[in-house]
Structure 1
């Protein structure tokens, strides 16, 4: 395949059209009683569902899709939503063989129907980042790095927190596009503000299909700035949900081949993150925020955190204690060997990075 034909990744870089409001919804539930629940819910909403030949499904005309599908989400269980197949076609059309690839789960159809706001946000470039400083544990007055944290902007300039965006993206299969846009925004904003030191950028491995291909746009964004590759540290989030370690290894290798660092987030949150530590050999590891919370007064947490910090020291990997919110937590992680400290006790995220006063 030529470079030109691969210049745009259809999975990561192309946004789907905003959901069409009017059309006909075709539904094929897994069981007869689910079909009955669907029919009752639609009729209770004032709609007129039609049974398909053979009684294996139904179709219904929708005029206000984003509102009307909420009825289905409210009346069916999560499993029923996942197992029911759905297809939405323009008014007056019948499903054809060419529509086979567009059949999805009813759960994803419902999520996509309510995702117009996120598609518009991404299409209009209303994604930015805030920067949270990381401080030296040896001297907590010294800023040595920042983590970039995704934020959305509404049309009035108000901040949209990452939670609703991530939830909508996962449910509507838009995580590829959101994660790429967040990585690019982090690079562009770090460059625009002249961020010094390391900049940690979160990414979800689930959002990268083929690392050698899908990360081209991320690296191109870096090349368009005055940032140095070694300034960037890509931080693996949701490591407890990783099923394909070989793919993750390829992602890590791709970042490193371009001169960037890699951090493993949420160490201590589950077995899997510890299990992949030796396979990835990250440049930094982050203690799970929940582990740091009240570590000074919770013996079980203290025992686990102490061993993790000792392990990191033994293998020579710098550690970041994340989520430090009290003076007692700060004292504890400093006394037990953390390298960097991050948390509301020292500084909250802000639209601009602070001046870096120390080095790693």
Structure 2
């Protein structure tokens, strides 16, 4: 049975309202043959029925204190239902033909391309670009974060064949989009094995697009990846929830210093202190430290001298639709 959080399926929408209003709605639904499931003060229906219900409540001035939820997501005020409807365009784009993979190099201090970060970009049916800062919020509003995260991961795994044989692929995932790793991640890991690509070439990267509150759950996800031979990385370390204590608890093989601490690190003592803390952590559990968002040669030189292992940023290359054909970047031209 497919997981409703990972696959693209019709939504079940549940409304919480008093019994008097449910009785009014029930008669209307029966006449129009809309599906409904009533349990105490909750009525569940499909999307067309939900639209009818909301229109009725608003027209009859009965919308006070009504909340709704999509599948098993959080309860929302009825005022958010319009945003949910307006984001319906995202549903038809949650298929691989509308996802284009971009590749950003991750290099060693000598310019050798160690890996690429696999970055999903999106287009609509007319081929017009949809940027991630539009696509992901719309998917979240629509209740499609799970489906979007899954299809991006699968697409990224398929593209690894385009890299040189010794290069790794950093693939982002949203940990809150995964309920049971052995269920939600099986398609991803099975595909990687089916493509006959060494598991160690995959680095699944925790991103901070969703705040992790359940550390134990995240650890179960990372253990699943590890048990299947894959590696993992923590993104945006130093900012938000990814505190140094969180880092100690998870002991990732790769640690990415957030770009906000990379910017002007060569002349900012506070940022230098955080960068050095990351290096101390790296040494404690034999990880690799990656500085992301490097834009100037001065930042690169400071980070390299400090001891960072890997580097990523516009200084070395922007995300492109094709990986480079050369195994290294000429640092003398920077």
**TM class, shorter-chain normalised?**
0.7 to 0.9
Change (3 A) 1:326 1:215: same
Aligned to 1:132: 104
Deviation at 1:320, TM superposition (A): 0.5
Whether the 8 Å CA contact 1:12–1:177 is kept in 2: the answer is yes
Q: Which moved more, 1:222-231 or 1:342-351?
A: 222-231
Aligned to 1:24: 52
Change (3 A) 1:84 1:325: farther
Whether the 8 Å CA contact 1:15–1:123 is kept in 2: the answer is no
Whether the 8 Å CA contact 1:263–1:286 is kept in 2: the answer is yes
Change (3 A) 1:100 1:319: closer
Give the Cα–Cα distance (whole angstroms) in 2 for the partners of residues 122 and 265 of structure 1: 24
Change (3 A) 1:239 1:317: farther
Q: Which moved more, 1:333-342 or 1:230-239?
A: 230-239
Aligned to 1:304: 274
Aligned to 1:85: 67
Whether the 8 Å CA contact 1:112–1:172 is kept in 2: the answer is yes
Aligned to 1:327: 297
Whether the 8 Å CA contact 1:27–1:84 is kept in 2: the answer is no
2:255 paired residue among 281, 285, 308: 285
Give the Cα–Cα distance (whole angstroms) in 1 for the partners of residues 80 and 161 of structure 2: 36
Whether the 8 Å CA contact 1:239–1:273 is kept in 2: the answer is no
Matches within 5 A, 1:238-257: 238=208, 241-257=211-227
Aligned residues: 294
Whether the 8 Å CA contact 1:197–1:231 is kept in 2: the answer is yes
RMSD in angstroms over aligned alpha carbons?
3.1
Matches within 5 A, 1:22-171: 23-26=51-54, 49-52=59-62, 57=63, 84-86=66-68, 105-106=77-78, 108-123=80-95, 125-137=97-109, 139=110, 141-171=111-141
Aligned to 2:310: 340
Whether the 8 Å CA contact 1:128–1:182 is kept in 2: the answer is no
Aligned to 1:14: 8
Please state whether the residue corresponding to 2:94 is helix, strand or coil: helix
- Structure 2: 5+ residue runs without aligned partners? 12-45, 329-334
Whether the 8 Å CA contact 1:27–1:87 is kept in 2: the answer is no
Deviation at 1:25, TM superposition (A): 3.5
Please state whether the residue corresponding to 1:134 is helix, strand or coil: strand
Q: Which moved more, 1:311-320 or 1:205-214?
A: 311-320
1:203 paired residue among 142, 152, 173: 173
Deviation at 1:273, TM superposition (A): 3.3
Normalised by the length of structure 1, the TM-score is: 0.73
